[in-house]
Structure 1
């Protein structure tokens, strides 16, 4: 019994020691211990050197504060700051948000995605405050965050989008060693529904709206006939009969769409409107077009669930009704997997054709 106790004590001491660990060419100080529940914990501090001699010298400084590290404190060591001193480093939620958003911008994430990310993080700050240490975010905080989004009237889909943002940020900091754990973040289960499309009768009614400018009618037709996302025309170029959509779009890869002569004229008209016309005076030209479409849908009495993205769904459904291969539709839409496209083939196409 004495031997077992002695060895358990030695194990705890060993786990509490800071030791060197090499990752690639760089050295890290590794502190391991067990918490009150017996769970093994691990913290790796970058020593920012390739020299083992320098790494050993820096390991001594880390070892001096290993007890504090075990208690959850983070430190900025002399090789990490301009003052050349060991300081307690509190990585606050506001700092984490700003740093992660800058990281996203440098990776050329689409502006529309960045805006969604920022909104989700602003909501998080509303719930938790900006000065709390990031490491203190718990499962309870996530539950409170969901309740907050609910109270603001967000749909389950929107809540899931915001949860993905929070999870992505926390996992990023866990990956680079600034966060020891990530709280449990589960998506809300949403019943599967068919994609919402615009019927031929509805689209014809839009084309017959007296109060809708003919320019918008032509633009809506362009979107329905090409399946482009809202902002893709603004970043695209026309080469011969083809629109070339760059990898900056949500698709993340180059794709091309062939246009008829009438649609080529509409595309060039839209580009001129965006670059030099009224669209150039708007903060969000895409948002303006989307709102005009939604307003028009209300004018003809369409269901409120229908919106601008329904034009993209309509394109896919129409292609399948014309017996276009599911794999060709996948390429036209720019889906990374045919599984995404199959949502359209699983619809009752007979009922759709009757619409």
Structure 2
């Protein structure tokens, strides 16, 4: 490491052990005392930097995904992978992690925000969390996204349907097994993955309870078990399904295809969307809208938002509040009270 003068400005030449090459940096100083002070400060920074491990962006991605797979859900793992692929479209995956430029990351996310704010926000949260872990693992000194935040995207009210609209969808579904599946989603608010993985051992018809449980094969979104009471409509659906099961045992799925295997999420989503389109309802309605419907309908009928939170299995009350919106006709009726 030594100083030399180029023109009127002192330059500092040094060997970067992490990148295994000679590099130069300007001291931006015209006098030797100022240049020496820069050298002293730079040496301290370099010494601190050397305590951090060198790793490429791609290597870190692989290590972080392995970590995520051991303690978080498969869907989150998939979401993280998509966010890194988004990053690799613009930044070379062999780039050293410590050379990530905060300005480039901010520009990349801001451009994405202009075309798809919700996707950009998802990438931002995923990458910020990943780089935060990189700091803890001594790969980075600072999180490049720590001081950056995206604008809050416009709030989209979740679509939901009422009982009459559900009946129309059921009329346009010829498969009785799928009719039960859709009704089950409407009256329990369970996620698609939770219904697909539901087994008879989690249903107590005598106590009228459904236990949404974590198992070796399946983990709930927030990793918490919950209990959903069985109302009269659900009780009738489940009671009628029992005789249809040959040699029933507790390990069998409540909903399965003709071969006894559980349905795939893609198959259920596709079939439900087809029934919605044949009904001529809003084309944006999808299977998860049944979950929105369960929560929204509960709240509109006077259910406490805190009770709705527990039934839905939300980790935070703020998530449930997003569902606590009203149909336009409810707002109109409220205003007409002033007539």
Question: What is the TM-score when the length of structure 1 is the normalising length?
Answer: 0.66
C-alpha separation in 2, matches of 1:218 and 1:353:
34
Superposed counterparts of 1:139-154, under 5 Å:
139-146=102-109, 149=112
Match of 2:181 in 1: 219
Deviation larger for 200-209 or 309-318: 200-209
C-alpha separation in 1, matches of 2:277 and 2:193:
22
C-alpha separation in 2, matches of 1:189 and 1:345:
19
C-alpha separation in 2, matches of 1:290 and 1:124:
29
Question: How many residues end up aligned between the 2 structures?
Answer: 273
Match of 1:229 in 2: 191
- Aligned pair 1:317/2:296, yes or no? yes
Instruction: Quickly say closer, same or farther: Cα 1:75–1:341, change in 2 above 3 A.
Output: closer
Contact 2:196 2:255 in 1 (8 A): no
- Aligned pair 1:252/2:244, yes or no? no
Contact 1:207 1:217 in 2 (8 A): yes
Show CA shifts across 1:66-107 (max 9, x none). Answer: 94961886578xxxxxxxxxxxx6310111001001111121
Contact 1:218 1:266 in 2 (8 A): no
- Aligned pair 1:307/2:274, yes or no? no
Mark the runs of 5 or more structure 1 residues left unpaired by the alignment: 1-34, 38-65, 77-88
- Pick from 89, 92, 96: which aligns with 1:129? 92
Match of 2:18 in 1: none
Instruction: Quickly say closer, same or farther: Cα 1:70–1:290, change in 2 above 3 A.
Output: same
Mark the runs of 5 or more structure 2 residues left unpaired by the alignment: 1-25, 29-41, 246-251, 334-339
C-alpha separation in 2, matches of 1:162 and 1:277:
39
C-alpha separation in 2, matches of 1:352 and 1:287:
36
Contact 2:299 2:305 in 1 (8 A): yes
C-alpha separation in 2, matches of 1:267 and 1:120:
42
- Pick from 142, 163, 166: which aligns with 1:203? 166
| SS of alignment partner, residue 217 of structure 1 | helix
Structure 1 residue 222: deviation in Å? 0.4
Instruction: Quickly say closer, same or farther: Cα 1:340–1:99, change in 2 above 3 A.
Output: same
- Pick from 42, 52, 60: which aligns with 1:96? 60
- RMSD, aligned CA: 3.4
- Pick from 266, 269, 277: which aligns with 2:259? 277
